[in-house]
């Protein structure tokens, strides 16, 4: 079994989703290799096993589906920045950071694999004094769909100048 697994030493902020993107292996395979019952099981681990490739018949080679959302993987190139990747993909930096659990945009390195959500729509910049409810009402869309598409949690605040994807 050693030749099909990599032993990875955990860092403080590692999450299953970011490890999945980095190693190009679906979360379900990492969970199966470590006998995790849920994503919180990773918290107490100092080292985990990462399969070298996916043996799950449900997962396609370059596309990963998570909770109904479609993702493509992207390998970071030497001169890439999250801003540049987001711009090329028609997304916001925030969406790419949230999808990959990245707190510091400067922490990506060449060779890292990122999950790029298959999201499209019109870019919108929140204006001073505007709320998600105002935007949703003006566009005849739901607040929940804006939050879901932009990876905005229920307790997260939005602010003027924040970029959103609508539609």
* Angle subtended by helix axes 16-23 and 93-100, to nearest 10: 100
For residue 31 the two structure tokens come to 């969970």
Which pLDDT value is given to residue 65? Answer: 42
Residues written for the chain: 167
CA atoms of 138 and 160, how far apart (whole Å): 17
Which pLDDT value is given to residue 50? Answer: 87
pTM exceeds 0.85 for this model: no
Which pLDDT value is given to residue 141? Answer: 93
Q: What structural domains does the chain harbor? A: 2-51 (3.10.350.10), 63-117 (3.10.350.10), 122-166 (3.10.350.10)
CA atoms of 75 and 113, how far apart (whole Å): 4
- Give the E-state strand segments of 10-162 in sequence order: 47-51, 63-66, 69-75, 113-117, 122-125
Averaged in consecutive runs of 10 residues, what is the pLDDT profile of the chain (167 residues)?
A: 74 82 78 80 86 56 47 89 90 86 84 86 91 94 89 84 88
């Amino acid at each position: 079994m050693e030749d099909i697994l990599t032993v990875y030493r955990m860092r403080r902020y590692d999450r299953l989703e970011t490890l999945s993107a980095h190693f190009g292996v679906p979360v379900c395979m990492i969970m199966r290799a470590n006998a995790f019952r849920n994503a919180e099981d990773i918290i107490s681990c100092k080292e985990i096993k990462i399969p070298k490739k996916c043996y799950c018949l449900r997962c396609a080679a370059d596309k990963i589906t998570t909770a109904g959302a479609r993702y493509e993987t992207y390998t970071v190139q030497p001169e890439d920045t999250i801003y540049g990747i987001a711009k090329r993909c028609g997304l916001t930096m925030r969406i790419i950071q949230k999808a990959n659990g990245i707190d510091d945009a400067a922490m990506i390195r060449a060779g890292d694999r990122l999950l790029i959500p298959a999201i499209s729509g019109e870019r919108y910049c929140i204006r001073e004094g505007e709320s998600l409810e105002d935007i949703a009402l003006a566009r005849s869309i739901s607040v929940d769909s804006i939050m879901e598409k932009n990876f905005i949690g229920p307790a997260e605040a939005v602010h003027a100048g924040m970029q959103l994807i609508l539609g």
